[in-house]
Structure 1
């Protein structure tokens, strides 16, 4: 009998915790659905669209392969589009992650943003 054991998930390096984690419409007629954006998806958008880095540079900074980065980025864009077009609330999940300057947090924002959780 052959048992296929999946490879353990590689931790992604994230440059910084998001300063804001909850986005969306409000009011009596807004869509109540919630979309969860993973911290790695947030980081892919931050690096590609805000920092204007290419996919190879983004993948290297996150400690993953380029094809993995491409998949994460595509998923993030789809979620953001769904949120904007369909008026769904977008919440960024801030699970444990690796920061290049130290495991699990961003030195610049960690204390400020951790108080909100």
Structure 2
């Protein structure tokens, strides 16, 4: 291990230091953490909480990848990797008759209230409410 003279940090792997993983924002902790098929004991695949959030934002909330990445506080490339990993894990579990265990990941729960029963600012209704309030004001004029 060598040390960089400028910042006194260890340099690893051919002169570069690996970047630390950035914490990803998720709306809330999942209520259920284990899903299993009716029959068989084929084991379980692991789905991280942050990968589940990527799946939720893109496939359930219908956000495009740029908007979803922004909600999670990550780059689009990081979001794509999370989403592809989540889809692969879910497909593997469904096709192979395995359970899905939701655990782990590098995330923090965004606990700012949105006013619609969600615990974060990624509420799918927040933009709609602002627009509908604007429309009702315009109609009254």
Structure-1-length-normalised TM-score: 0.77
Any stretches of 5+ residues in structure 1 without a counterpart? Answer: 109-117
Partner of 1:60: 70
Matched, 1:24 2:36: yes
The answer (yes or no) to whether the contact 1:31–1:86 under 8 Å persists in 2 is: no
1:13 aligns to what SS in structure 2? strand
The higher-RCO structure (CA 8 Å, 6+ apart) is: 1
> Where does 1:1-117 land on structure 2 (aligned, <5 Å)?
2-27=14-39, 30-94=40-104, 97-101=107-111, 108=119
- After superposition, the CA RMSD in angstroms is 2.0
The answer (yes or no) to whether the contact 2:36–2:98 under 8 Å persists in 1 is: yes
Instruction: State the shift of 1:4 in Å.
Output: 2.8
The answer (yes or no) to whether the contact 2:36–2:99 under 8 Å persists in 1 is: yes
1:70 aligns to what SS in structure 2? helix
Instruction: State the shift of 1:3 in Å.
Output: 3.9
Residues 73/95 of structure 1: CA separation in 2 closer, same or farther (3 Å cut)? closer
Aligned length: 102
Q: Distance in 2 between matches of 1:87 and 1:17?
A: 25
For residues 57-116 of structure 1, what are the alpha-carbon distances to aligned partners after superposition, in whole Å with 9 as ceiling and x for unaligned? Answer: 1100111001110111011000000101110110100566322336xxxx85xxxxxxxx
Any stretches of 5+ residues in structure 2 without a counterpart? Answer: 3-13, 113-117, 120-141
